[in-house]
Homo-oligomer: A and B are copies of this chain.
C-alpha cells in the first residue's frame, strides 16, 4: 500500500523530481493547510528554492491524481492538504481564523442519506462550520 505522497505520486505515474520531493516533504511536515506561497516559504526555510509556477503545477497535478485536496476557505488563496490523511471537516474560528479539523461519523452518514434522497450518488463533500469559542470560564 502507498502511504507517503511520493508513493502515490509514483503510483500515479508522475516523475519524482527534486521539486516534487520537496513539496511533498513540506506538505507532510505541515499540520495546517498551506497555500502555494506558504509552501514556497517553508521550502525556503529548509534551504530549497522553488518556483511558484512549479508549485502551482505540482499542486494541480497532485490534486488531479487525488493525492491532495484543494480547499478554498476564504475565496482568497487556495490551500492544500494530504488527501490520504482521511476525510475530515473544518471549523473556522471567526476570531482568529484558525482552522480546526474534526470528523463525525453521524455527519458522514447523514450526508450520504441526503444525497441519496436527492437522487444522487455522493462522491465527496465539504463542510465548514464557522464559530466563536464559547466564553465559558
> Are A115 and B131 in contact (CB-based, < 8 A)?
yes
Identical copies in the complex: 2
Mark A80-98 against chain B: 1 for CB-CB distance below 8 A, else 0: 0000000000010110000
> What range describes how many residues of A lie at the interface?
35 or more
A72 neighbours in B (Cβ, 8 Å): 72, 75
> Are B121 and A130 in contact (CB-based, < 8 A)?
no
CB distance from A1 to the nearest CB of B (A): 25
Write 19 A-B pairs (CB below 8 A) sorted by A numbering: A70-B75, A72-B75, A91-B120, A94-B123, A102-B118, A110-B110, A118-B131, A120-B131, A120-B133, A121-B132, A121-B133, A122-B130, A125-B128, A125-B129, A125-B130, A126-B126, A126-B127, A126-B128, A127-B128
